[in-house]
Amino acid sequence: MKIRVQGYDKDGSAWDSFVTSQKASSNYHLYGWREVIEKSFGHKTYYLAAMKGDNEICGILPLVHMKSRLFGNFMISLPFFNYGGMLSDNEDATGLLVAESRLLMAGQHADFAEFRHTECSMDAETKQHKVSMVLDLHETADNQWKALDSKVRNQVRKAEKSGLTTEIGGSELLDQFYEVFCRNMRDLGTPVYGRNFFQTILETFRDTTRIIIVKCDGITIAAGLMTWYRDVLEVPWASSISDYKNKCPNNLLYWEAIKFAIAQGAQRFDFGRSTPGEGTFCFKKQWGAKPVPLYWQYLLKDGQQLPELNPSNPKYRMAVKLWQQLPVPVTKILGPAIVKNIP
């Protein structure tokens, strides 16, 4: 049966129906993230669908075009998130989606296209520098607690004995989340997303997104945004104020998030991506999370090298140090215009 590729611009129902039919699909394949990206960052998106027969979808590829003088000209599936990439149920659809990606690259003079896959789904240059840290969940919070490392349990108890409290909610907690997030990103030397990015996520995915906060004497000292899809709950953004590190707010935040995930019926808790051996990797590992390989695959323009758009790249180290010296209110103004072009 003949397969064709075309841009998808409908209401998203057929797109999401195909996504949910695919075992390898992730939260970020859902069509609602197109609105989040376009509304929050203004990027041009190309949502490609491979069609067969009577307009039946047999493959999809969400692509975002990003272009700036500082970071270059490229296409990503998907930026800002841990997952994305191509989904298809046959090799012909995969090949046609790759071919259409190359045409788009040529038309936009892009240097490369990056696909964030959870498996090697195409023949292309591949990087395996990151992993997701995923914890298999027990059926009850009590059993999960018993399975935790004794050090982790002690840290959670310490947070509770320090009088830390938690709260879970929606947009009403956004300001508290955002204040902690901005402070933490400044300390890390990373430009901060605009508040409207998180607001749009909460509005677009009302039923599957929540904010969790940790308070000390009425002050919010840690916060995270939780989102879930199928049997996986993920915390893609979590932050804490380093001044309170000795009270273990991060441990309490993640424990309460894990309990929430179990109550939601989730079977896996995704701590997000990490670089093996680094601090965040070790923190997540102590909870019992195991590394799941990520395959970032690339289509490259002739002569183009694999990209290195990350803070460890020496060319960005000075910028990181300078950013860490800025007042938080200044980072809120400057950050969104910069981070919109960092995938």
| pLDDT tens column, 21-75 | 999 999 999 999 999 999 999 999 999 999 998 889 999 999 999 998 888 999 9
Question: Does the pLDDT of residue 128 top 60, yes or no?
Answer: yes
DSSP annotation of 286 reads: T
Dihedral of alpha carbons 186, 332, 78, 74, sign: negative
All domains of the chain, ordered by start, with CATH? 3-123 (3.40.630.30), 131-292 (3.40.630.30)
d(CA 110, CA 113): 8
Note the pLDDT of residue 57. Answer: 96
Q: How high is the pLDDT of residue 42?
A: 94
- Asked whether 73 and 109 are in contact (CB, 8 A), the reply is yes
What's the CA gap between 129 and 140, in Å, rounded? 34
Among residues 176, 307, 172, the alpha carbon closest in space to that of 241 is found at 176
43 burial (CB, 10 Å; 0-12 / 13-18 / 19+) is middle
- Record the tokens describing residue 110, joined without a space: 């892009």
**Rounded to the nearest 10 degrees, how much is the dihedral formed by the CA atoms of 9, 14, 17, 23?**
-60
In whole angstroms, how large is the CA radius of gyration of the chain? 20
Q: Check the CA dihedral 50-55-57-62 and report its sign.
A: positive
pTM as predicted: 0.93
Mean of pLDDT over the chain: 93
Taking only the tens place, the pLDDT of each residue in 174-208 is: 999 999 999 999 999 999 999 999 999 999 999 99
